[in-house]
Structure 1
């Protein structure tokens, strides 16, 4: 593979370009009118305007993106995360055109993208799932009957959804009644499918995910777990690896369940199996994300492997760079912080111009996956992620202390960011002790 088109934007586009440069692979970027001056456009070997700012008119124009890839002689397309990364039609079109889709095949994306269908597949593979419906619920009346049987609180979810979009927690029948049509409408608008289902909401839960990788030869390995329990609006803000306060026995069950899930769908390339772990350390399958995760750098920092390089090698038809599970070892502890242009109290986006951007540090063990330059504009058209800060230490305590020192010295001006949130969460007792749950930000915001 000598030339790759990156069907994405921002920090993940820059991240992929970084690995491609190291491997001697040419890169093609696409960009919208709003992103013309973004760093990733300049970093790529070539870049082409794809359309106006709205994603439907630019980054989601799969046929146009494929035309550019073919015209420019690309061997493959890397979709990054979000946008077209889990779009079955796009993955199929790329493969049918004779190019490599750098991710799992379309069939796997389809099987795991349907959350209702994936529950059934996991059950058949003896992977424990969250109690809930095995089929979609078509009406509010049916939803109420199911919820009464399962017991409140429940999660109402879009079957085709992901990334925290298209799901809502309902504490009562009244809440379910108020939210049902809204969730169905959002599901139709964002995913083209209004099928919804119900799962029991597990209280005092931790959101733990396992990074898995597979290849064409049938090799499947895991690269340990990440704790992603610091969330707002069901979307992750801080992630860490390894997860604190999980017994070796619980971790072993998580790893085995994740590998079983991957084997059940003959998984190839990078994937993440997401679980809920309750207060009794029981594990429940949530979903499988058939793409590279936003938080993949924490896994890279504790294993020493470049997961984008692994993706490219597998897409080339090669076996995994490391096939023996025992050869994959943990080294230290890593935390990732997603720096968003948003109000740290309300979590509402705060678009604007970054008048000052100083993210560099003399501290060792600091990695910056950045998407913007000084004087760059964070527009309202896309997710307001500015950069990701990944901090590695020999121990969790060292990584936490290093994080505190880092956030006390960097500077971002011109718009609001969630950095004040990080400095406060790092001092929350449950976070310091590693006993926090997915409720940590709700509890913090009520203070």
Structure 2
């Protein structure tokens, strides 16, 4: 699994048919932590990705039978609550003797002021702004920790390891370090293994999902299998997928995933190692089998990245459609109508985006898309969205658009009912010296 909401069935099939030792599940994107932190603030029993329970309900018996260990960051903003729910699930299923590890230490939200007093600035990596500009609006602060806690948990006999915000790569390096006895500073093998981990961390993206090099030739996308890495002691591996599943594994699918989100391929920074992808070689060694070699690594960075989030206002938005004839002219007049009414209502916003869905909503101003002024255009969908400082201003967008039904140009439709307000959360990327962060491991035994 590659994100919260990803299909659990391919992971279940992997346990049943894949002959694997570890099932590594990544549930967290950067903004996911903001969502989970918001949930935990409303209910202290929440804050983890609950689809992990769906996964384990269908697979944990087979995992126990086959000796498959589960490594996951589904704990999110509340790993202990997640572990407790997993323990309850095991009891409900009549399973005993299951050891569940909780890996913590990533959450520094309660230590920010103390750390700043010790000289940790938490300056925004992108803008250079000081944390003081958003300090009172922070929702969470979690460090991207490495594999140390996972290794400790496995050494203590854990069958299921539930983490908070570890790196995606750590979910795979932890089991490999444990199995092969690699030292935490075995940079060459850790670097090679990071290449392998990166190839499979996004689930179906390595097996033909989102593949742009021949997606129309990828069979069985509806039953896409997740990738499996058969890793050797030197860190090299053969990538394949669950037997009998859809998708494909070839040089194209694997290489497309390898260049995903790595910036400088010779300096891929992780919490465990600085990996070098520049010498990687891919070789097809059989049907749906690709060998990865040539990766290496150097010493890990002295700092760790922190995922902070803060409240950034609300979105006010409306979507409406105009039909032939003169769809574009009507749409332009409808936008003018809405803007005039908002102006009269004293509307305040930080930014406004107007787009025609299906024409420029993805590309925006990056292409010279001509105005959709075709006289024979059958319909045109307008989306008007504004970043607003509070809920009151955000509500005005829809409220002032409703009169378009009777008062605006003819041929309008699709305004619908009032949409729920969306609160905005923004990310604050920053760094922390690694000596300020220590993983802790607790064991729950069913």
Greater RCO, 1 or 2 (C-alpha within 8 Å, sep 6+): 2
TM-score normalised by structure 1 residue count: 0.29
Q: TM-score, normalised by structure 2?
A: 0.29
